[in-house]
Amino acid sequence: MNKWLISLLVIAAVFLVFQLVVSMTTSDIETPKYKVLKKYPRFELRQYESMMLATTNLGVASFDEKSSEGFRTIASYIFGKNKSNEKIAMTAPVIYHADSISTLSFVVPRSKTQESMPVPIDQNLTFVVQAPKLLAVLDFGGFINNEKLAARMAELKKAVLKEGFQIKGQGYYFGYNPPWQLIGRKNEVAFELESVN
């Protein structure tokens, strides 16, 4: 076996170990609390508790156009680019919401309040407290772009309407993994629903 092949195998092994470590550490990150009310063939019906979000406005833009910029804004804040240079524990998911103005949000750790969060330097980062929500959620793997996001949203919408639910507003995308994680990726799309009796 020549040196070139040995080097390639070593690099591949190191890369695989790195991906496995990243995959295991992201599974330990704090996520919002919810209760699964019912499982349907293509989605789960979940009742989410109230949560606080650190949100940045992306303007009138698609996921592909502005999500990286929004992620950088949020990541900078989390890693200490704030008025007290304080680092904040990572949580998941990062939430993309497409509406008249698109937003990207970081879920604030449950141990924090708005008063205890460091003041952002970036004025495009604000705190929003979300009321409890009833969501229909579809999960899938891999990487995401506008076309895949639209296809999964359409798939979820069709399944939700087939079950007789009423959808409220535009959908959400939940991303659970950093961009450099290649294996074990977790994504979800969701629609808020009218309350069920």
CATH placement of domain 30-193: 3.20.80.10
Q: How far apart are CA 142 and CA 43, in angstroms?
A: 18
Which of 49, 27, 45 lies closest to 36, judged by CA?
Answer: 45
Q: Domain spans of the chain?
A: 30-193
Res 99: pLDDT: 77
As averages over each run of 10 residues, the pLDDT of the chain (197 residues) reads: 58 44 58 96 96 91 81 92 93 88 92 93 93 97 92 97 93 88 88 83
Distances (CA, A) of 36 to 102, 112, 125, 134, 135: 27, 25, 31, 10, 10
Mapped onto helix, strand or coil, the DSSP state of residue 36 is strand
- Give the pLDDT of residue 44: 97
Burial of 76 by CB count in 10 Å (0-12 exposed, 13-18 middle, 19+ buried)? Answer: middle
Q: Which H/E stretch holds residue 105?
A: strand 102-107
Return the structure tokens found at 60.
């009138």
CA pair distance 31, 38, nearest whole angstrom: 20
pLDDT at site 27 = 55
Which residue type sits at 99? D
Q: Please state the pTM of the whole predicted model.
A: 0.83
pLDDT for the residue numbered 19 = 39
